[in-house]
Structure 1
């Protein structure tokens, strides 16, 4: 393979633009094409990031022999079908979360990637966060002792992504805040625990703001249905019991009345020797004069903080990604 990975981005919405920005700052990659069904979004993205080719149909893009890898930034219901087609076209694939809208479809993606011997990575951004990487090092040193319980959460005060967009319609999104926010924190939490084997789950979802047209924020570039459909959850809570005996409590909310001074998102790990919280990374433990709190600067981290840069390096160097597809399948 050449020194530079020839990449294409499928989808030029808000996240697709982020992919293009990352590729434009990666010295080991080049954005050679994009696929976007909106002619206006395609023109704007191509001009902004100097992408030489654009296609209205992603299938035509996948037929191009001079493209080594694609990054997929599409509505959730398209993740599975497009990823499978890309892998069958012998492209390496970076796929936005969630991997798919069903476990069966996610398993098929992993199977095809193995059969085609292509690199597949889900873009779980929090694994690359420097505070997550610092926390991972602490966990691997065993400083917490036995970790018996964890809590992960992402609760927005008012953060529904444009009511009526694909985010708020189940047929396109598969789910609401759980698929949008919860998957990020659950993945980072299980990654820190190095434990993805779940024995049981109990949970509950609610839709208390979106159906009333409340809690909206202006994010994204996708079209909005004038009927402003909202048939997904805007709050979800779950308790996971892992096969190891540990428990994980998870919360996700697009909108809720809460103290604005609290963390919007984070992870808390309880151990027999110390506790650890994110974000930022803080360690809580006993000291000679009582309790002490240590906040980590996390200046040096083992992996790039940019998920796209990491993916590019893994493909070019033949390394296993920080986000193995098998772990994403379990999330």
Structure 2
């Protein structure tokens, strides 16, 4: 690294909607210098590079991995490419910011963790939900004992009509690995376990559904990927799971891209404790008080972590802070995702405690 104490030279791999969001967020950090962009589309690549002031566009990401002046890469690609390209980047000596899901199976996720640890490189999964001010505030309230002993939680991200472009890679299992649970359910899952301070799940009972997507219903507008009108919709558009933690606590997880529900989009978590409970959004506390039951809306403010996950990653690479997304937790999330789909496929509870 040319100036390890002051600057990180980054290359962004992928110029879709997430890649553009990464570029935007990296611009907010004075020590981040995006030196190149990799994108296979000869139209989108140069256009995005010009829009965000990136000095070079290349069609092949391997060109960037071979460059000595690239310290770190960020990966914003379809799910099936996450693990193999992250592994190549680590073996090329680059720090890596990887979008969720970490991989499409726990074995690949574990290999990534081993590679990064062995090589002394920074690898972080962009679990952006835990960076939200509401989550940081809720975590502080829990640590202060406002809820007492937290013993159960419900967490969800459900959309009425939010399938990311039917016929795109999102709706094909061979590219996405999974559907709503992989795409948005993972945010609710990671956020909830982060708040509970426990990722040690011992059993999972899951069920997945593919009901509206195959009918062409519930389509959203997300993403810039190509559409294949002949592609079979073979991922879940709704998923549910019951998780039991080693501590004896429990979590109900729900995700949907498309469902006939009242809210167009609900993305929140509810925690139940012996002294009170909380739910967001917006962040509200519920607990008994001297003059009856108290319902209090709490202002959400960032605690000690920069809400900009890309800026946080740059600080991690520079050695200024420890990663707010420990690798072991990301691998645990991948194991849980695997278990949800395995349980849905077999109709049986899946044990994760050996």
Please report the TM-score for the alignment, with normalisation by the length of structure 1. 0.98
Measured in 1, the distance between the counterparts of 2:63 and 2:69 equals 12
Alignment of 1:66-215 (within 5 A): 66-215=69-218
The residue aligned with 1:276 is: 278
Shift of 1:319: 2.9
Pair 1:223-2:226 in alignment: yes
Measured in 2, the distance between the counterparts of 1:78 and 1:157 equals 28
Match of 1:20 among 17, 20, 23: 23
Shift of 1:24: 1.6
The residue aligned with 1:319 is: 321
The residue aligned with 2:244 is: 241
Q: Secondary structure at the match of 1:187?
A: helix
Measured in 2, the distance between the counterparts of 1:138 and 1:7 equals 36
In structure 2, list runs of 5 or more residues that go unmatched: 334-354
Measured in 1, the distance between the counterparts of 2:302 and 2:23 equals 26
The residue aligned with 1:330 is: 332
Shift of 1:2: 4.6
The residue aligned with 1:295 is: 297
CA contact (8 A) 1:144 1:275 kept: yes
Shift of 1:78: 0.2
Please report the TM-score for the alignment, with normalisation by the length of structure 2. 0.91
In structure 1, list runs of 5 or more residues that go unmatched: none
Q: Secondary structure at the match of 2:247?
A: coil
Shift of 1:127: 0.7
RMSD: 1.1
Measured in 2, the distance between the counterparts of 1:266 and 1:127 equals 12
Shift of 1:228: 4.1
Q: Which runs of 4+ in 1 moved over 6 A?
A: none
The residue aligned with 1:259 is: 262
CA contact (8 A) 1:99 1:328 kept: yes
Q: Which moved more, 1:217-226 or 1:183-192?
A: 217-226
Aligned residue-pair number: 330
Shift of 1:265: 1.3
CA contact (8 A) 1:92 1:315 kept: yes
CA contact (8 A) 2:158 2:258 kept: yes
Shift of 1:318: 4.8
Pair 1:310-2:315 in alignment: no
